[in-house]
Amino acid sequence: MRIIRNAMTLGLVAGLGFAGAVAQAAADPILTRKAIMSSVGAAAGLGGGMMKGEIAYTPAAGKAAIATMRAASLSFGSFFPAGSDTGDSDAAATIWSDAEGFATELDKYSAATASAAAASGKSGPADLDAFKAAFGPVLGTCKSCHETYRKQN
């Protein structure tokens, strides 16, 4: 029960942190996209942990991970205006030199999160297998985008 409560708390904190950080960072696109990616990272950690069996799966925690990813997909692409390619950012220059390709990746992410949200229903995916089927493609789009549009460390 403690693991479930901790997973649900992580989802809630990630969501609230996302909302608060975005509100504070609205004037700074780099800070805003870093805040959004922080929430995406938390959701990926929660979802990945459940998929690997490191965190006990619950429908509510699954729903939280999916909802966080969906929220990010609806706004993330808006925070890459011209001139925001410098500064403390993990965004690769390819985002601006291949804007069409980046937009295609964002569309894939949005479509995957929309499908996951629809599959999760009101209460979240019923079991771990349903969660994996919904969330796996979302993580796949993250990986695909990072391969080209994120600086490699």
- Using one digit for the tens of pLDDT, what is the confidence trace for 84-130? 998 899 999 999 999 999 999 999 999 999 999 999 999 999 999 99
d(CA 112, CA 87): 30
What domains are there in the chain, each with its CATH number?
2-149 (1.20.120.10)
Q: What is the pLDDT of residue 66?
A: 98
Decide if pLDDT at 5 tops 70: no
Given a contact cutoff of 8 angstroms between Cβ atoms, the answer to whether 120 and 55 are in contact is no
d(CA 130, CA 121): 11
pTM: 0.82
H-only helix segments in the chain = 2-25, 29-52, 59-75, 94-97, 99-120, 128-149
Q: What is the pLDDT of residue 23?
A: 52
Confidence of residue 22 (pLDDT cuts 50, 70, 90): very low
Q: What is the pLDDT of residue 15?
A: 57
Decide if pLDDT at 73 tops 80: yes
DSSP 78: G
Decide if pLDDT at 138 tops 90: yes
Q: What is the pLDDT of residue 76?
A: 95
Decide if pLDDT at 137 tops 80: yes
Given a contact cutoff of 8 angstroms between Cβ atoms, the answer to whether 37 and 80 are in contact is no
